[in-house]
Amino acid sequence: MSERFTGTFTQQEPIPEDAVEAALAVLRHGRLHRYNVVAGEIAETALLEEEFAAFTGARYCLAVASGGYAIATALRAAGVTPGDSVLTNTFTLAPVPGAIAAVGGTPVFVGVTEQLTIDLDDLAAKAGQAGYLLLSHMRGHICDMDRLMEICDGAGIKVIEDCAHTMGAAWNGTPSGRHGVAAAYSTQTYKHMNSGEGGFLVTDDEELAARATILSGSYMLYGRHRAAPGPEVFERVKYDTPNISGRMDNLRAAILRPQLKTLHDQVARWNERYGVLEAGLRGTPGLTVIERPAAETYVGSSIQVLLLDWAAEAILDVVARCAARGVELKWFGAPEPVAFTSRYDSWRYAPSAPMPPSDRVLAGILDMRVPLTFSLEDCALIARIIREEVSTVYGNGA
């Protein structure tokens, strides 16, 4: 009888007990709003910002309501105005072009390689079309950041990094999010720390940090931020920066602070599971494992493989066969969005010309979450199931 996986791909680990206790303390005193403090008290949100700034090595950090809000705020604070073109990845998720559209910008899509990173040759060719790049480290795959910054610096392009999938990752030892003028991170449930919703913006640019803080809804209370520039910077920008409230609250900050302390350990656990899956899938006929470059320190919270040049019907057969055995795979080649797999030609508010080389890659991507509730044995079983079903369909002439 065929093996079957009986776990769930959407169940996260429980919130750690010390985080639960910290949350209860906030609930007991009732001061959930980040600026509601008593004499001598430092808000949980302000402390979290200091700690996350130290974690990334950034000068400034702002905690906000969501990763998508962090992206849009970074774009606004960096100077994107209605009508501006913004370069971004072909392979990404809807919040990325959505953030560009939210500030009135126009996405200009850049191709994807078989390594699932932004196509740097295509970026170089399009560098003259925009003054900004919103770089999505989609599914945790980091491109050659040295070459990317060389291209962007040479063309005067400001880089904003979407690090929703790379919190705790690095390129050549530099933490993800520390190459561009600003970076956005997410603490939505399926990311690397879990507060339900939430996010961070980090930067070394004092004026960008001040504008972002006022945009987030600091009113006149920016002095209660600790991972922030001095009051003289806020004085320069406070009267021409609108309030578009999106603050993080102390309850979520209290939940996140203990998780941040153990994030490096959690990354190691994800990568153990990723390694078991990768080893089990390597060498499967017709399936391409994404090789990770030595310069990349990644977080294996999901895994992607390619069924390059397969017929759509054969890929759908693999997905259905795996689903029948309890393994949930997402496919980025469907003509209509399914299970959050929308692609550049799905977003009708962001018109684009066909991109055949990228379409070929997108049509072959299978994607799978790797929650920490999976054991190493679970990962080995899942890899066997995928290997068997891909092999069967491939042997039938995929």
Question: How far apart are alpha carbons 194 and 346 in whole angstroms?
Answer: 28
Instruction: Say how far residue 6 (Cα) sits from the centre of its chain.
Output: 28
Residue 280: its pLDDT value, please? 98
Locate 275 and state its tokens.
Answer: 């390694």
Best CA proximity match to 285, nearest among 155, 386, 141, 212: 386
Asked if 108 and 83 touch (Cβ cutoff 8 Å), the reply is: no
Q: Could you give the C-alpha distances from 283 to 302, 322, 390, in angstroms and in order?
A: 19, 18, 11
Residue 341: its pLDDT value, please? 81
Residue 227: its pLDDT value, please? 98
Residue 396: its pLDDT value, please? 86
The pair phi, psi for residue 207, each rounded to 5°, is: -70, -40
Q: Which residues pair with 85 in a beta bridge?
A: 106
Domains 17-261 and 263-395 alike in fold: no
Best CA proximity match to 136, nearest among 111, 114, 101: 111
Locate 52 and state its tokens.
Answer: 């996350």
Q: Write down the residue that tokens 């126009």 correspond to.
A: 106
DSSP-assigned letters across all residues of 124-184: HHHGGG-SEEEEE-GGG----HHHHHHHHHHHT-EEEEE-TT-TT-EETTEETT-SSSEEE
Low-confidence ranges of the chain (pLDDT < 50): none
Residue 128: its pLDDT value, please? 96
Q: What is the DSSP letter of 90?
A: S
- Angle, alpha carbons 95-161-359 (nearest 5°): 60
Question: How far apart are alpha carbons 116 and 124 in whole angstroms?
Answer: 17
Domain 263-395 part of CATH 3.90.1150.10: yes
Buried b (16+ CB within 10 A) or exposed e, 212-249: bbbbbbbeeebebbebbbeeebbeebbeebeeeebbbb
Residue 334: its pLDDT value, please? 86
Sheet holding 132-136, edge to edge: 60-64, 199-203, 182-186, 158-162, 132-136, 85-89, 106-110
Residue 339: its pLDDT value, please? 74
Residue 1: its pLDDT value, please? 54
Query: What fold characterizes domain 17-261?
Result: Aspartate Aminotransferase; domain 2 (3.40.640)
* Residues in CB range of 33: below 8 A, 6 or more apart: 247, 249, 250
Best CA proximity match to 361, nearest among 110, 111, 138: 111
| Domain range list for the chain | 17-261, 263-395
